[in-house]
Structure formats: C-alpha cells, structure tokens
Chains A and B, each alone.
Chain A
Amino acid sequence: MSRIQKAFSDGKAFIAFVTCGDPDLGTTAEVVKAISAAGAGIIELGIPFSDPTAEGPVIQGANMRALAGGVTTDKIFAMVAELRRDIDTPLVFMTYANVVFSYGTERFADRCAEVGIDGLILPDVPFEEKEEFAPAFRQRGIDFISLVAPTSCGRIAQIAKAAEGFLYIVSSLGVTGVRDGIATDIGAIVRHVREVTSIPCAVGFGISTPEQAAKMAAASDGAIVGSAIVKLIAAHGREAPAAVGEYVRGMVAAVKGA
C-alpha cells in the first residue's frame, strides 16, 4: 500500500491544496506544516504554471503571484526536501504537463523521489496520454493520479482500472473555484468505480464549506479543497498559517464525521 492509500485507511481523508510560492516559499512551507498539524490526509502542492488552463480566477491569481515572485521548480524541490524533515503527510505535486516535460520527465521523477513526493496530478494529461508520464513515476513508486469528470461516462471503468494512489473525481463542469452547489451525482460515479476497483475516490472542485466537504466525503472517500485555501492565503499573506490551520481543522472534522 502506498503512503497515499494509507491516508485513506483510517476513515475519510481531507486533502488540501496550496500553490507553492504564494506569497513566498517560506510562507508556503509554514502553511503546509499547519495543514499537516491540522490533520489533513494528503497535501497537494501546486507548482505554478504561466497558463493554468484548468484553473479558475483564484488559483490563476496565485500562479501569477508566485511566478512574479520568482518561484521555480528547483526552488520548490528544495522547499519540499526541507519540509520532509518535519512532516510525514503524503505530498502530491499538482502542475501542468509542460512543467514536468520541460524539466525532463525522468529528471523530474528523480527529484520527486529524492525529496519524498508521493504522487503527481497533471490535469491536462488524460488517460490517452498518460503513458507519456506515468511510467517514469511508477518506476520510482510515485503514484500518477488520474481524474474522472462528470462528462466521463463510458470512460470511468478504463480510467479507474488503471488508476494509482487515489482517483480524483472532478465534481463539476468547468474550472477550479468555489461553488454554491454541486449538482453531479457523485455517488453514481463512485459506484461505477467500485464495480472495477477498490481504489479510494476523493472529490474536488468547488468545495469550500464543512457542509459541502462532509456531503462529498459521505459519497466518496475524501474531499479536496484548493481555491478556498488559496483565498485564505491571499487574504492573510504571511499570517496565513494560523488561519489556514484553523480552517483545515474544521474541514478535517467535517470529513472524518461524514
């Protein structure tokens, strides 16, 4: 069992996302420690990309601020290596295909293994193209995490069968960002997945409140929150670790109780 799958072994998991380098890498590291201490099961670390086509305005803004602040992939690897001395929570990189491809997929995977990264999510790499990336990570014991969307009907079985780590269920059409309501029948997607595999399923996109997280986690194995955390960081700047820690504690409680 991978460290990621272990995160789902004692109940539901709360998964938190932060954009690395917004407002600076020192703050990101402190925020990640606070999220870990607050009991998150997995932490997604966003490596900023100039043109994040799957993101809504909130995470786009974080990407632009981080890049303007001079963050690079190498600086993020160095931050993760430092973080790994303090925390044991599974860490997953979330970025775009070109960030990995341009670094050199093998070289990127090597660095991930060295610094203790557990998984990778590339939202612009669907099932059809995953062999461009997945083998390099598989060889090093790093999970290449797949996504299914509300529009995936007919594709869910093949994606789920080949999924590693956990399956990321995109809750809604469109890009990342806080939403008032989620209309997709998550239970139906999870049942579909369960027909072919027992891999944990976590739901993301649009979740911000404990009520939404509890509802999504009740229908699956976990809830993923990005934009709401990124918003908190934008609002609190270097004081964000305390605010994010408190928020995550509430979300973890909601998810665990689901």
Chain B
Amino acid sequence: MRKGYFGIHGGQFIPETLMNAVIELEEAYNRFKDDPEFNAELKRLLDDYAGRPSRLYFAERLTRHLGGAKIYLKREDLNHTGAHKINNVLGQALLAKKMGKKRLIAETGAGQHGVATATAAALMDMECVVFMGREDTVRQALNVYRMRLLGATVVPVDTGTATLKDAVSAAMREWTSRIDDTHYCLGSVMGPHPFPTIVRDFQSVISREMRAQFLEKEGRLPDAVLACVGGGSNAIGSFYHFIGDKGVRLIGCEAAGRGVDTFETAATIATGRLGIFHGMKSYFCQDEYGQIAPVYSISAGLDYPGVGPEHAWLHDIGRAEYVPVTDDEAVEAFETLSRIEGVIPAIESAHAVAHAMKIAPEMPKDAIVGITISGRGDKDVAAIARYRGEDIHE
C-alpha cells in the first residue's frame, strides 16, 4: 500500500503551508514510537495518571436482560477525564513535547477530546487552545467550563454548521498560521497522514488490553466487538488487535440521527460516498456537487460528515461492518445501561450499546460480545433530560 494510504483511502490533502509540519511530525513519530524511554514514559502516564489498564467488565444483568450472548463492557469511561480520548492525547502531547512544541491546539465535538487535551497541556505545562463549534459549546457547556478550569482557551466556531467539522477546519486554519511552536493534537483517526496512523497506534491500547483480558476471563476471544464511530478513534482502537482474528466480528456503530432516510443523519458509511476533505480521501456525507453535508446527530462527538480512512478500508474489504443507530435507539440504550448496570455511558458509546441490544438476543448464550464504553455520560445528562422533555439546566 502507498505510504499514508489504507487501500484507496487516506493521503495528505492539505495546503502546502502544512506539508513540512506533517513531515516533521511523521519523522518524530517514527523516531520515538519504538524508543524505550518514550514508551516507558508514556506507559507510566497511561497507568498512573490515566488509570490504565481499563477494566473489562462482565455485564451480567444486561446479559440476562437481553437473554442472549454474554456481554462485556470495556470501560474506557473509567479513564481519567472520562473517555478514551486521553490515550491518544497523552501520546501526542508527549511527542509534541519531545519535538520542542510549546502549544497544543485541538478541535472538539462533545468536548471530551478538548478536555483531554487541556488536561495533558496542564500536566505538561503547555499552552492550549481548543476550537469548538458554537452549537456544541451550548450542547456541552459543562465541558467548556472544564477546559477553562484546566487553563485552556476555548474558541467558539461560528462558521458552517458550527459543529465538529467546523471546529476541525478552524483548528487547521489556526495551524497554518502558527506552526513553529504549535502541535495540532488531532482527536480522531482522521485528517492527513500521519494522524490516522498515530492516533490509531495510541488508541490500539484498548484492543491490546481487551484481547488479553478476554483470554484471561473467558479463555477465548469474543465473537464480536462493538464500538461507536464518528471519526472512529475508539472503534479503531477497539478493533485493531482483532483485525487478524477472523472469527471476531468487528462492528462500528454510526450515528444515524433521525434516520438514514432523512437528511438529519451523520451515518457516513451508510449514506456517504468517496470524497476528499479534511486532509484525507475517505467516505463523506456530501451533495452531488461535493459540498459537505450539514450532518446531524444527538451526539456531538459523532456529529461528523466523514470517517477515518482505515475504517473506510476495513469497510471496503469487508473486515468490519458498519451499522447506523438512531438517536431514539441510542437514548434508549443510554437509559437501559444506566438502569440495569448502573453505568451511565456517553451518548456516543450508547450507539454501540444500542446495536448490541439488537444483536445479542439473537446470539447463542455461549457467544461473547465486547462493547467499548468509550466515555462516561455525565456530560450528556442534561441533553438527554431535554430530549425526554424535562427542562434541566446545568
């Protein structure tokens, strides 16, 4: 495969101004990724600061409730800052520090990646600026304050649909204006090479642990692994070390919003087509002239019109399945997991729970399913209350 490509997907479709920055990043990553000192430092941060390894929890009551496959939850929600995002951010921040950068910029949708980046910046004494769609700063006001508390500057983005895609565009524009001292800490497996590879490597700790944990607890690998997909970082992290295990179904759950037959959807693989945007060739929701579609999902973190190039490739070769999950289904799963297991998942992660609730009852009782709970749902409580017609203000 061509460097930086996954099948036909990927590449480096960015302004010339940024090319030397991504080349410098790739060189630094290649230098440090196998460096024992770098890895020891990262492992110490992941273990002692972020709280890894995250637990693989047998959800016995949910299993009984659904009456089919045994369900395990990979508890990324228990990480420091409450989501899987910290895995990637600690890696990138450490790398940026080694590269002599003094400033981190990031985009954020739900605010989880922004909070993680602000956290790492505080820890490593770096300046931090987070771009967030105006719409999302309203939906996720609590996370905006968290970022400020951590010392970051949050810049609301008013262009376009004022959501995640516009935050990515704003962060890219900012990076072109200030490269020397600034690292763009991209939060998902998207954007130009080498980001999809770097972020996947840092997130692959999820499946590395999961694989060992399943072998230890069940003496075998699961029959299916499910994760939600926006750009796809927790999903690729959850899939990566299982890709070679053909018996493990890999299922990515996309945000269908109000349904894939409506315009209010963010299910890229279900409704998008091949395109080039935000640095990469992949699938995108777009109109017949290639204008990027104003996507919608209840979940700010999945509200993105594209998908990472490695997912697009796993879809092309049939190694992973991608399924749409609606707002209604995700909210129901959010409530079910809260009531039955006492685990309030992020509304993003609830998309994966929702699909598991569809397929687990059809599977035999000795089948095993792993669901990655990519984040915790505290941030979503007020929005879900409003969805149910209760006017709660944070």
Contacts and interface: CB of A to CB of B under 8 A. Distances in A.
Interface of A: 49-51, 53-54, 56, 60, 64, 67, 72-74, 97-103, 123-129, 132, 146-155, 159, 170, 173-175
Contact of A60 (B159, B275, B276): B159
A53 B172 contact: yes
B248 interface: no
Interface string B155-191: 0000110000110010011001111000000000000
A26 B284 CA distance: 32
Given A125-B13, A126-B14, A173-B179, A98 B284 contact: yes
Contact of A51 (B14, B15, B166): B166
B20 A151 contact: yes
11 contacts: A49-B291, A51-B166, A51-B278, A72-B289, A101-B276, A102-B286, A102-B288, A126-B13, A146-B16, A155-B16, A174-B176
Nearest to A172: B177
Interface residues of B, number: 37
A123 B169 CA distance: 14
A173 B172 CA distance: 12
Give 7 closest A-B pairs by Cβ, nearest first: A102-B290, A174-B177, A149-B17, A97-B276, A50-B291, A98-B290, A149-B16
A73 B288 CA distance: 10
Given A51-B160, A101-B276, A102-B275, A153 B286 contact: no
Interface string B226-247: 0000000000000000000000
Task: Among A50, A155, A175, find the residue whose CB has the most chain B CB atoms closer than 10 A.
Answer: A50
Nearest to B179: A151
Nearest to A95: B290
A168 B87 CA distance: 40
Contact of A151 (B17, B274, B276): B17
B81 to A, nearest CB: 28
Nearest to B21: A151
Contacts of B292: 50-51, 98
Nearest to B166: A51
Contact of A101 (B21, B172, B290): B290
Contact of B17 (A98, A102, A159, A170): A170
B275 A150 contact: no
Given A97-B13, A149-B17, A151-B20, A175 B176 contact: yes
B12 interface: yes
A132 B16 CA distance: 16
Determine the main DSSP class of B at the interface with A. Answer: mixed
Contact of B276 (A98, A128, A153): A98
A19 to B, nearest CB: 14
Interface string B198-212: 000000000000000
A53 B17 contact: no
Contacts of B14: 124, 126
Interface in B129-174: 159-160, 165-166, 169, 172-173
Given A53-B173, A60-B159, A129 B19 contact: no
A80 B289 CA distance: 17
A156 to B, nearest CB: 10
A54 to B, nearest CB: 5
Contact of B16 (A51, A99, A170, A175): A170
A131 to B, nearest CB: 11
B193 to A, nearest CB: 9
A132 B160 CA distance: 27
A73 B289 contact: yes
Contacts of B173: 53-54, 56, 174-175
A110 to B, nearest CB: 16
Interface in B1-42: 11-21
A146 B15 CA distance: 10
Task: Among B13, B20, B176, B289, find the residue whose CB has the most chain A CB atoms closer than 10 A.
Answer: B289
A154 B173 CA distance: 23
B277 interface: yes
B19 A152 contact: yes
Contacts of A56: 173
A128 B176 CA distance: 18
A153 B11 CA distance: 21
